[in-house]
Structure 1
Amino acid sequence: MDLEQHADGRMHFRLGKVEIWVAGLVAAACIASFAWIFNRVIAQQDTQQEATSAVKESITEVSTQQKVLSTQLANLSLQLSDVPDLRRQVTELKVRSDRHEEDLKELRQTRGLR
């Protein structure tokens, strides 16, 4: 490695053969490491994209399940809204049944009197 001054007054820097090879190897190592880092970043992005698509699929599945659950809850709510009416009807039927039993008792008693 030489530092020479030319006639125009400027300093010029010169490398020898060994220094040129060393500089070339360092430059090649830098380029290779940059390429390796770039490939790692791309691989990481691919991994993140796969994870993101899996999460999106999961969200879609959960959304579908939520819609089904919402429909089922609406059906249950509709069915449960009929419960008070059913209770009233059952009560009316029980009253009718009791009346019929009393009427049957009276009929049996009147038959017995004959």
Structure 2
Amino acid sequence: MASLHPTVTITNIRNFISIILEIDGGQYTSWVELFKIHCRGHDVIQHILPEEGPTPKPTTEKNKEKANAMTLYKRLDSIILQWIYSTISKYLLITILKPDSTAAQAWKSLENIFY
């Protein structure tokens, strides 16, 4: 039986990241730091900062294992995306929300707004 990734056990990210990022609140740096700490603690930092960890590439011989690895990666990425969306203001959410976006794309969109 496969073990449960710790990321899927987070039911309310706002219990861990209490700052709601606002366009004019001046808390971007604090929000980023809290978010990165949380992602590192759950071993998913590569979803927002690909340079900090390898994106898992399935290298097994079995197609089922490859599919499972990619399914888990996509699931984790969706969870990280939900974390981002739940900790930003509605204005920022509407600004960066795009169909089929990844966590890294949303992260970069926010970075571009504040820098």
| TM-score, with structure 2 as normaliser | 0.26
Which structure has the highest helix share of the two? Answer: 1
Which structure has the highest strand share of the two? Answer: 1
Q: From the CA coordinates, give the structure whose radius of gyration is larger.
A: 1
